[in-house]
Amino acid sequence: MEKAGDAFSKDQLAKLEAAVAFATDCHTGQKRRSGERYVVHPLTVAGFLIDWGLDIDSVVAGALHDVVEDCDVKLSEIKQRFGEQVAFLVDGVTKLGKVRAGMQDIDTYLPKTKDNLTKLLIATGADVRVIIIKLADRLHNLQTLSSLPPEKQRKIARESLEVFAPLADRLNMGQVRVQIEELSFSFLDPTRFNYLRKQIKSRLGRASKKLDHIREEVKAILKKNHIKFEMDGRVKSIYSFHKKLAKHNQNIESIYDIIALRIVVKDKPTCYQVLGLIHHLYTPMINRIKDYIAVPKQNGYQSLHTTVITRDEHIVEFQIRTAEMHEYAEKGLAASFHYNEQKLTDAYKTGRIARLPAELNWIFELQTAAAQLKAGQKVDMKKMRLHLFSDKIFVYTPKGDIFELPEGSMPLDFAYRVHTDIGKNAIGFKINGRISKANTRLKTGDVVEILTSPKTKPTIDWLDRVISPFARNKIRAALRQQGTKTLSSPANPPKKPS
């Protein structure tokens, strides 16, 4: 927690010190399975939150997140000592624990992990910081998992891989996702994990001299063009390598991005300039050029990716981004969505804050679902599960532009992803050149053409023809403008595609 001095004011540091002292006192005499003092766990969680750039209330809540459940401390005392926001966050984390303890298997969110956690997330959807604190809690539990019996290790590792890693990905917290995946995979399949680690190490050893030469060539051309940059290497994580091998029939030689060179520059125009220089230097593999700056991933990730063939016929991937994009790629929501007083108002908590970034619309979906449950209305858990945990598909425009969508998306999801005006004016759809219905499920590789008319307006049944939070939010906004109520409308699943 050494970084706290750089992150917070004197008053905030005093608040954190008081929380540390209180947590230490509350957990006196308590020990973890490993034998270490229990207070080490909440203080480590608080340290993670500082590293991730969270606000002081989140960090204090991290330090105190177990005192209500494990130390018989009243929430009212937390509120009196540390304020309403800290109490609100501690209460959210405590509720997760209580619901979890009431499940059939008290040691894990499994079985039916995704259903259970979706409900829990809806219950805490008023503030996404509860989820981030839970990610920090889970990460440290994984780091100390070896002290538990093998069966519990596997259960916790499996739910971490199926639930918490995708959550970190939805928040674009790349570092956290990789840490959770690597630790979980090492407990779930240690033999495979160690085999792939040796394979990556072997590839790194063979490629190091070649990469050094390529790095020097690229440095020379960037300096010649007076470009300020930072360059480092990125090694593919073991779990990502495992997943990619499954897609390539376990053929290691067909995977080109085990090692990538990452170039960080000052602004977007320079990113494209660097891309051009690299393509001037080496031969690009056209089908492996990805522009996530112009079309960010659903979680907000931005970068240029290109794979090239050098003059010596070596294949190497480059990732090009600004410092801001790199910070967001590593820390995600914590780096870009800072919690200030305005965001902590009732408007933020109920999802009415005006400037919620597009990649965080799924949070608004949670908040809307929480409001529906509170009002006694039904929530379509299948749709919520798709929003949070589904795999992605990649769909093309007739011009060849590629867009990433959640698996299960339909043509209207695609139309709104391309542009809001195209979505709201959509009158028909062509998939791979054929007229198709609005409830047709899209597949990776589909080429979709949207037919539009300025006279078209969204209708309430459009909500049954989309699954992506972004499209649903835009449709709801249009319906409100037209005077159509949507909150009380039934959340029916889409009709079965023809």
Handedness of CA 86, 87, 88, 89 (dihedral sign): positive
* CB burial of residue 37 (10 Å; 0-12, 13-18, 19+): middle
Integer-rounded Cα Rg, in Å, for the chain is 24
402-406/290-291 β-pairing: unpaired
Active site residue 70: yes
Integer Cα distance of 413 and 450 in angstroms = 11
- Catalytic member of 70, 107, 115, 162: 70
> What own/partner pairs with CB < 8 Å and gap ≥ 24 does 416-419 have?
416/466, 416/468, 416/470, 416/471, 416/474, 416/475, 417/468, 417/470, 417/471, 418/450
Closest CA relative to residue 304, chosen from 288, 320, 317, 315: 320
- Tokens for 39, please give them: 């207070």
- Phi and psi at residue 50, in whole multiples of 5°? -65, -45
Closest CA relative to residue 1, chosen from 56, 49, 71: 49
Integer Cα distance of 358 and 378 in angstroms = 25
* CB burial of residue 122 (10 Å; 0-12, 13-18, 19+): buried
Integer Cα distance of 86 and 40 in angstroms = 20
- Catalytic member of 51, 69, 291, 330: 69
Active site residue 69: yes
- 374: number of Cβ within 10 Å: 10
Integer Cα distance of 250 and 36 in angstroms = 42
* Three-class DSSP category at 297: coil
DSSP-based helix, strand, coil % in the chain, nearest 5: 55, 10, 30
Cite the active site residues.
69-70
